[in-house]
Amino acid sequence: MITAERKPFDEIVSLVGDRKKVLVAGCDTCVAICLTGGEKEAEILASELRMGAALNGRSAEIEHTSAIRQCEWEYLDLIADKVGEADVVVSMACGIGIQSMAEKFAPKLVVPGVNTNMLGMPQEHAVWLERCGACGECVIGETAGICPVVRCSKSLMNGPCGGSHEGKCEVTTPEKEDIDCAWHLIWERLKAQGREELMFVNRPPKDWSKSSSGGPRKMVREEARPV
Amino acid sequence: MAEAVEETVETPVEQTAPRPVDPDFEPEIIVFACHYCAYAAADLAGVMRLEYPSGIRIIKLPCTGKLEVIHLLRALEAGADGVYAAGCMEGECHFLKGNLWARKRVNHVKRLLSEVGIEPERVEMYNMSSAMGVRFAEVATEFTQRIKELGPNPAKRAGVSPHAAAREALGDVAIPEEGPSE
């Protein structure tokens, strides 16, 4: 799923500026599941913004709403009236939802309330781990179901490197926590699968043009397009 | 269960000089009280004829675990000068961990208030058993004194009754007087 984290409050306040009518729009799909931008969190942010405005003696009408999915035109239709009344919309959807909102209601000012950060797996309640980089050419069939693109700190296609020590990467998280060496994990699982020979395959450089390096991507399913 | 206990967030030291306490300021305080402990403790305090400040407004919850972040914010927005949750002693929750969840949420609200610029000390989490009538009155008095020193809620709106507004906002949560069956 797509995960996101709420932006710092001060940044949101500066994006809103001194506009009077503010609509905080949550999205009830991915960002609601990761407890960042669903209806509940939209109401919390709206409440914070109202209290902040009152504190600064500023009069503002700050409301919240949410769409089932901000990335689909049909669901945006359902909140169009509220958006129409607002001077600025703080969208708490992922980057896709925010841009859909901005495009659908252009030139309405739509600003992000969150930083979209990854395609994550919920490891346990309230913990997400990055598992996919949407690189456009999946290799995990040969790497025992473990993605070297996002789980190896260096995105190596032929690992491990010399920085792997007792199963841990030489790189740590910003919080100084250890990161598992993806290629160590791949080796262990390939052994368990009896497919060790895949470890010795020399993989050529990855074609990053299928990832975001190739420009904005577009997918069309001709057989499913409306006739 | 000790591993699940979250320490109370250290609130930053007040930057500004302490404000003089206004003797006429009677803080309005919303208490989210658990049916199984603090609410019964309040009852006991009453039976014991203990005195505690008149600005205390109690909202009964089936468990403080039912308390959500937005409920605390709504109470403050409605004009309460301070809000606290009073749940069972840690390890004694009728629903096992409701009071531990509540403490986490209260601490989260402290962080939210800090970023808005409102004193995080305006919200708090307390634990007490149903036998602690004296403690209930003590907490009510202590917390009221704390809020008196902080002064009125700076985000207070004029002409709103915090109790009525918070009660209305909590319509789906607060339980009727007869409470859940034991």
Is this complex scored with an ipTM above 0.95?
no
B127 belongs to a structural domain: yes
Stretch 42-81 of chain A: residues touching chain B, C-beta under 8 Å: 43-44, 47-48, 50-52, 54-55
Give residue B160's pLDDT: 64
Give residue B1's pLDDT: 41
Of A8, A44, A55, the CB nearest to B73: A44
Q: Find the helix packing angle between A39-55 and A9-16, rounded to 10°.
A: 70
Task: Give the pLDDT band of residue B2 (cuts 50, 70, 90).
Answer: very low
Q: What is the pLDDT of residues B65-94, one digit of tens each?
A: 999 999 999 999 988 999 999 999 999 999
B78 belongs to a structural domain: yes
Angstrom distance (rounded) from CA B75 to CA B144: 16
Give residue B11's pLDDT: 55
Indicate the DSSP class of residue A34.
Answer: T
Among candidate residues A129, A68, A109, A98, the one with its CA nearest the CA of residue A6: A98
Average pLDDT over residues A18-23: 96
A24 - beta bridge partners?
A: A64, A90
Continuous segment of H or E residues that includes residue A76: helix A73-77
Least trusted range by pLDDT, from A160-164, B132-136, B177-181? B177-181
Provide the percentage of residues in chain A whose pLDDT is more than 90: 97
Average pLDDT over residues B100-125: 97
B13 belongs to a structural domain: no
Angstrom distance (rounded) from CA B126 to CA B113: 18
What domains are there in chain A, each with its CATH number?
Answer: 2-118 (3.40.50.2300), 134-204 (no CATH)
B67 belongs to a structural domain: yes
- Find the DSSP H helices in chain B: 38-47, 69-77, 98-116, 133-150, 162-169
Provide the percentage of residues in chain A whose pLDDT is more than 70: 100
Task: Give the pLDDT band of residue B129 (cuts 50, 70, 90).
Answer: very high
Phi first, then psi: give them for residue A121, nearest 5 degrees.
-105, 130
Angstrom distance (rounded) from CA B77 to CA A92: 22
Residues in chain A with CB shorter than 8 Å from the CB of B68 are 40
More reliable by pLDDT, B4 or A178: A178
CATH code where residue B110 lies: 3.40.50
Task: Give the pLDDT band of residue B22 (cuts 50, 70, 90).
Answer: confident
Select from B73, B74, B123 the residue whose CB has the most chain A CBs within 10 Å, as the one to mutate to test that interface. B73
User: Looking at the predicted structure, is the pLDDT value of residue B16 above 80?
Assistant: no
Provide the percentage of residues in chain B whose pLDDT is more than 90: 69
B7 belongs to a structural domain: no
B20 belongs to a structural domain: no
Angstrom distance (rounded) from CA A106 to CA B176: 48
* Beta-carbon separation of A55 and B157 below 8 A: no
Angstrom distance (rounded) from CA A69 to CA A137: 27
Q: How far is CA A178 from CA A1, A28, A182, A187, B161, in A?
A: 23, 33, 12, 19, 51
Task: Give the pLDDT band of residue B20 (cuts 50, 70, 90).
Answer: confident
Q: What is the pLDDT of residues A106-146, one digit of tens each?
A: 999 999 999 999 999 999 999 999 999 999 999 999 999 99
Of A44, A48, A54, the CB nearest to B157: A54
* Beta-carbon separation of B117 and A52 below 8 A: yes
Give residue B128's pLDDT: 98
B180 belongs to a structural domain: no
Average pLDDT over residues A25-34: 97
Task: Give the pLDDT band of residue A69 (cuts 50, 70, 90).
Answer: very high
Q: Structural domain tally of chain B? A: 1
Whether residue B56 lies within 8 A of chain A, CB to CB, comes out as: no
Give residue A169's pLDDT: 97
Q: What is the mean pLDDT of chain A?
A: 96
Average pLDDT over residues A77-93: 97
B155 belongs to a structural domain: yes
Q: What is the pLDDT of residues B143-174, one digit of tens each?
A: 999 999 999 999 876 666 666 666 666 655 55
Give residue B18's pLDDT: 60
Q: What is the pLDDT of residues A171-213, one digit of tens each?
A: 999 999 999 999 999 999 999 999 999 999 999 999 999 998 9
Residues in chain B with CB shorter than 8 Å from the CB of A50 are 77, 155
Domain carrying residue B126: 25-169
